[in-house]
């Protein structure tokens, strides 16, 4: 569908340009691109392939196709599944941390996200399919776990399935099974026991295996951007690699700040009320600016693939237009460094313009009401910058091979600099700057490219990029979006080092009315019904008596309401005056008193407690590791208060000098 914007295959309209010309008999590379079965729109409609009017017609139709794809996508999302927009990773992180967003992983979301993802990628917008594929995979995981009661009834088990699904999603998106498992571990999952690690591994194995059987890239390889470089890297090259890491970190910071500022503006101003118009406008601008530049006109993954490639002898790309030494007769895969030709200089200009355009447009694209991933645009930005740096270093080394830094490893006639490697390192650095991944990033990159020899450059760039980006702000793009949307997410990465105690955080504070509690054997049904009506707490601690306040358990609001309703309907003698007993054996009552209501079975006898002197550092640790929603605070068995996850989040925000009211469920 991406190629449909430019032309159509006469033998079968669903073929891409490349597939269409595969069957062609032309054998040289140039001819294959111009095979007769593939017709540009101008050729088909007005029988012209060159000239200004043909160009304008093609330009116009390119924009029209892009607009119709984007309009269809945004309409489908708005009408059928509003949750299908965005990358979905911030929400999945929140869901895996224990929060429930109903319908987020539903069947409609799955269906609509799959369809619209195809449309938006084809429309040429600056976005990728990889992040949304994680969401799609989690929808599948949720669907399958709803089929088995073992998983549908146990929230924890369901989350393990979702962790594995996220791994399988990345495995399929990039053809990177191990990278997928690590992505799920490092970026998506909240609680990732070893058991889940190895189940995710199995899911990713099956995903990779299925992918290989389908063989979508037609080359029997799992990897998306397969590269083969012919030279090792040299120690002196670490300097430009680290520079690329710095660039990646700066790009990550810039992108996150600008994107969040823009998304906040969208949330708070009228802009958010016209999502369709916004998508149409951005698509139109993208298409208008993208068409004239060959590096933005094509699909972004093709662009990345070309930038990663080493220039072999058979390469016809403009980026490989070097001036060859006519006397040279060498084996084809060991071409020495050569001076750049006219094509390379043109390409450099076009790449520079494409880079600026990508940087700006991606800020406005990510966060619109369509499925949109960040991996591919970030990688494209990094690959463009990296390739330009690489060509620069290569030409410097060629023209100045007597400089001290080049003298040791770059003699004349040697193949010492591989610009494609710089593109790969730049892509890793930019992706790292935006997402703050480290290990999973490096694994994904070398699974993507097959470039196992280049772990150290990739690691150096990833680490530098993370450092630089972290210096300007700790949050990656997903955490920033979680924060922007106010999801109750307790980040496992932040360290809590303040010396506050549980007593400083718990409710009620000094001067506030006392905690709403139930007593084990003195409240009537009516008392409890009033309490339920007047408050909206999720549950109530149960104490021995109002005086002693010794805690015996915790009763869920939902179960209390249900138990009272059932008792009033079915149990004769239970009236508003009946006394509710949470004790094991209610005492014998006088004959004329109303029938008592025994509720011990709904009482949670092991509520989680801490003492009021417990340091908040420990409390935060317990909340994180045990995934609690609330925790009771006691002193010598006396109930003093309660700490909820919200309280913990508010306190952490306060300690970090942020507005505590920004933490809320909205």
One residue of 64, 111, 463, 655 binding a second copy per CB under 8 A: 463
- Looking at residues 98 to 127 of the shown chain, list those that interact with a second copy (rule: CB under 8 A): none
| CA pseudo-torsion sign 193, 195, 198, 202 | negative
> Within 10 Å of residue 277's Cβ, how many Cβ atoms?
11
Q: At what angle do helices 477-485 and 89-96 cross, to 10 degrees?
A: 70
Left if phi > 0, otherwise alpha if psi is -120 to 50, otherwise beta: which for 24? beta
Q: Contact between 445 and a second copy (CB under 8 A)?
A: no
- Cβ 165 vs Cβ 140: under 8 Å: yes
Q: Which stretch binds a second copy (CB under 8 A): 22-30, 104-112, 605-613, 645-653?
A: 605-613
User: CA-CA distance, 292 to 287, in Å (whole number)?
Assistant: 9
Q: Where are the alpha helices (DSSP H) in 294-400?
A: 294-297, 300-308, 342-365, 375-399
Tell me whether residue 114 or residue 614 sits nearer to a second copy (CB atom).
614
Q: Which of 194, 214, 404, 591 binds a second copy (CB under 8 A)?
A: 194
Give the interface segment with a second copy, choosing from 124-132, 189-197, 250-258, 564-572 (CB under 8 A): 189-197
CB 81 within 8 A of CB 109: yes
Is the CB of 222 or the CB of 282 nearer to a second copy?
Answer: 222
CB of 10 to a second copy, least distance (A): 32
User: Are the beta carbons of 651 and 500 closer than 8 angstroms?
Assistant: yes
Kind of pairing, strands 630-635 and 609-611?
parallel
Q: Which is nearer to a second copy, 493 or 565 (CB)?
A: 493
C-beta separation of 381 from 355 below 8 A? yes
Q: Which of 12, 56, 492, 664 binds a second copy (CB under 8 A)?
A: 492
By C-beta, is 383 or 632 nearer to a second copy?
Answer: 632
Q: Interface residues for a second copy in 610-639 (CB under 8 A)?
A: 610-611, 613-615, 618, 621-622, 625-626, 634-638
Count of alpha carbons within 13 angstroms of residue 510, beta-carbon side: 2
3-state secondary structure 143-204: HHHHHCHHHHCCHHHHHHHHHHHHHHHHHHHHCCHHHHHHHHHHHHCCCCCHHHHHHHHHHH
The residue among 86 and 90 lying less far from a second copy, judged by its C-beta, is: 90
Closest CA to 454 of 227, 172, 180, 250: 227
**Considering only residues 493, 546, 558, 565, which one is a binding residue for a second copy as defined by CB under 8 A?**
493
Cα Rg of the chain (Å, integer): 31
Distance of CA 616 to the CA centre of its chain: 30
Q: Closest separation between CB of residue 628 and a second copy, Å?
A: 11
Out of 28, 47, 220, 592, which residue is the one contacting a second copy (CB under 8 A)? 220
Q: Which residues have C-beta within 8 Å of that of residue 59, sequence separation ≥ 6?
A: 291, 292
Q: Tell me the C-alpha to C-alpha distance, in Å, between residue 639 and each of 10, 205, 490, 599.
A: 78, 50, 25, 20
Distance CA 233, CA 256 (A): 32
Question: Based on CB atoms, which residue is closest to a second copy, 538 or 618?
Answer: 618
Binding mask 496-535 for a second copy (x = CB under 8 A): ------x---------------------------------
Q: Does 177 bind a second copy (CB under 8 A)?
A: yes
Contacts of 331 (CB under 8 A, 6+ apart): none
Task: Pick from 89, 92, 335, 459 the residue near a second copy by CB under 8 A.
Answer: 459
Q: Which of 110, 165, 181, 379 binds a second copy (CB under 8 A)?
A: 181
Residue of 612, 603, 597 lying closest to 643 (CA atoms): 612
Interface positions, 116-175, toward a second copy (CB under 8 A): none
Closer residue to a second copy, CB minimum distance, 47 or 329: 329
Take residue 43 and report the two structure tokens written for it: 């050729």
Is there binding between residue 424 and a second copy (CB under 8 A)?
no
Residue for token pair 């060859």:
324
Residue 508 preceded by cis peptide, ω within 30: yes
Binding residue for a second copy (CB under 8 A) from 52, 332, 452, 591? Answer: 452
What is the rounded CA–CA span in Å between residue 493 and residue 159? Answer: 19
Minimum distance from residue 134 beta carbon to a second copy (Å):
18
Least Cβ distance, residue 550 to a second copy (angstroms): 4
CB of 56 to a second copy, least distance (A): 46
Name the segment binding a second copy (CB under 8 A); options: 11-19, 390-398, 471-479, 604-612.
Answer: 604-612
Instruction: Please report whether residue 581 would count as binding a second copy according to CB under 8 A.
Output: no
Is the CB of 108 or the CB of 226 nearer to a second copy?
226
Taking CB under 8 A as the criterion, the residue among 111, 254, 280, 439 binding a second copy is 439
Q: Establish if 609 lies at the interface with a second copy (CB under 8 A).
A: yes
Which member of 101, 456, 562, 664 binds a second copy (CB under 8 A)? Answer: 456
Residues in touch with a second copy (CB under 8 A)? 177-178, 181-182, 185-186, 193-195, 197-198, 201-202, 205, 208-209, 212-213, 220-223, 232, 235, 438-439, 442-443, 446-447, 450, 452-453, 455-456, 459-460, 463, 466, 492-493, 495, 502, 544, 550-552, 605-607, 609-611, 613-615, 618, 621-622, 625-626, 634-638
């Amino acid at each position: 569908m991406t190629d449909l914007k430019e032309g159509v295959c006469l033998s079968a309209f669903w073929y891409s340009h490349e597939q269409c010309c595969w069957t062609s008999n032309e054998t040289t590379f140039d001819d294959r691109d111009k095979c007769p079965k593939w017709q540009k729109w101008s050729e088909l409609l007005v029988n012209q392939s060159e000239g200004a009017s043909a160009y304008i017609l093609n330009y116009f139709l390119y924009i029209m196709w892009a607009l119709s794809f984007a309009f269809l996508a945004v309409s489908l999302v708005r009408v059928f599944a509003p949750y299908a927009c965005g990358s979905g990773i911030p929400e999945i992180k929140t869901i895996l941390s224990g929060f429930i967003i109903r319908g987020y992983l539903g069947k409609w979301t799955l269906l609509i996200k799959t369809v619209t993802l195809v449309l938006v990628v084809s429309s040429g917008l600056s976005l990728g399919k990889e992040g949304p594929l994680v969401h799609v995979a989690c929808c599948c995981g949720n669907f399958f776990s709803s089929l088995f009661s073992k998983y549908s009834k146990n929230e924890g088990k369901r989350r393990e399935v979702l962790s594995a699904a996220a791994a399988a999603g990345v495995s399929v998106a990039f053809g990177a099974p191990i990278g997928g498992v690590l992505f799920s571990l490092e970026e998506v999952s909240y609680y990732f026991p070893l058991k889940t690690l190895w189940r995710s591994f199995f899911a990713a194995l099956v995903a990779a295996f299925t992918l290989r059987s389908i063989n979508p890239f037609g080359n029997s390889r799992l990897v998306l951007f397969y590269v083969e470089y012919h030279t090792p890297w040299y120690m002196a090259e670490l300097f430009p690699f680290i520079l690329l890491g710095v660039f990646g970190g700066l790009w990550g910071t810039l992108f996150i700040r600008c994107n969040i500022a823009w998304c906040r503006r969208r949330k708070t101003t009228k802009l958010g009320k016209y999502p369709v118009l916004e998508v149409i406008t951005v698509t139109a601008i993208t298409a208008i600016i993208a068409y004239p530049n060959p590096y933005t006109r094509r699909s972004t993954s093709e662009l990345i693939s070309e930038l990663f490639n080493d220039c072999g002898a058979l390469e016809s790309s403009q980026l490989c237009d070097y001036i060859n030494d006519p006397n040279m007769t060498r084996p084809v895969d060991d071409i020495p460094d050569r001076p750049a030709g006219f094509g390379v200089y043109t390409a450099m200009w076009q790449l520079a313009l494409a880079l600026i355009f990508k940087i700006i447009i991606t800020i406005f694209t990510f966060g619109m009401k369509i499925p949109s991933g960040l991996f591919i645009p970030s990688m494209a930005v990094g690959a463009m910058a990296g390739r330009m740096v690489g060509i620069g270093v290569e030409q410097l080394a060629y023209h100045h091979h007597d400089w001290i830094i080049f003298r040791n490893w770059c003699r004349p006639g040697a193949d010492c600099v591989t610009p494609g490697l710089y593109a790969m390192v730049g892509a890793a650095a930019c992706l790292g700057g935006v997402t703050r991944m480290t290990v999973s990033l490096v694994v994904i990159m070398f699974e993507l490219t097959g470039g196992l020899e280049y772990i150290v450059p990739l690691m150096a760039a990833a680490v530098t990029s993370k450092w630089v980006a972290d210096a300007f702000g700790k949050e990656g793009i997903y955490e920033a979006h979680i924060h922007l949307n106010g999801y109750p997410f307790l980040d496992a990465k932040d360290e809590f080092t303040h010396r506050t105690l549980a007593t400083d955080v718990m409710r009620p504070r000094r001067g506030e009315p006392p905690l709403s509690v139930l007593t084990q054997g003195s409240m009537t049904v009516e008392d409890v019904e009033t309490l339920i009506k007047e408050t909206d707490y999720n549950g109530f601690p149960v104490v021995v008596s109002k005086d002693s306040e010794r805690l015996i358990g915790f009763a869920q609001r939902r179960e209390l309401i249900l138990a009272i309703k059932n008792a009033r309907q079915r149990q004769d003698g239970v009236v508003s005056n009946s006394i509710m007993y949470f004790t094991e054996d209610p005492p014998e009552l006088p004959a004329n008193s109303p029938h008592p209501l025994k509720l011990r079975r709904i009482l949670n006898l092991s509520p989680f407690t801490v003492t009021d002197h417990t340091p908040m550092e420990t409390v935060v640790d317990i909340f994180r590791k045990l995934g609690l929603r609330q925790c009771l605070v006691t002193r010598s068995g006396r109930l003093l208060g309660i700490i909820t996850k919200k309280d913990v989040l508010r306190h952490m925000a306060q300690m970090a000098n942020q507005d505590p009211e920004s933490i809320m469920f909205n």
